[in-house]
Amino acid sequence: MAKWREVCAEDAFKNTYKFVHRRKEVALFRLQDGIFATENSCSHEYSELSEGMIIGDDVYCPKHGSRFDIRTGAVRDLPATRPVKTYPVKVEEGIVYVKI
């Protein structure tokens, strides 16, 4: 069952952050209206989306350039064809939490 996990202070990162909990890797992204989370591994091959480039509401995979909607995990550009999981995020008293 998913639980809220403490990630870091809200101001601990600028654009992206990698969070690891018991082998589960989560990528956090700061957008204009908040912080969002997806699984860290690209759905094409293994590459870390937390090292990708954010443009608008999308993240570009650093390996082959697939583009994912950060809010929904949907694929917006090939070569990936499968979405990535997304996770709920909340910020309380300056601390970021992700539900995984």
Q: Is 75 in the site for ligand FES (CB under 6 A)?
A: no
Helix (H, G, I), strand (E, B) or coil at 11: helix
Q: Is 27 in the site for ligand FES (CB under 6 A)?
A: no
- Contacts of residue 60, defined as CB under 8 A and 6 or more positions apart, other chains included, come to 52, 53, 54, 66, 67
Residue 4 DSSP class? E
Helix (H, G, I), strand (E, B) or coil at 9: strand
Q: Is 59 in the site for ligand FES (CB under 6 A)?
A: no
User: Amino acid identity of 43?
Assistant: S
Q: Is 63 in the site for ligand FES (CB under 6 A)?
A: yes
Nearer to ligand FES, 82 or 99 (CB): 82
Pair of tokens at residue 86: 């997304």
Q: Which residue has the tokens 């309380």?
A: 92
Please pick, from the candidates 21, 64, 85, 99, the single residue that binds ligand FES as defined by CB under 6 A.
64
Q: Please choose, out of 5-13, 15-23, 38-46, 85-93, the segment that lies near ligand FES by the rule CB under 6 A.
A: 38-46
The binding site for ligand FES (CB under 6 A) comprises 42, 44-45, 47, 61, 63-64, 66, 79-80
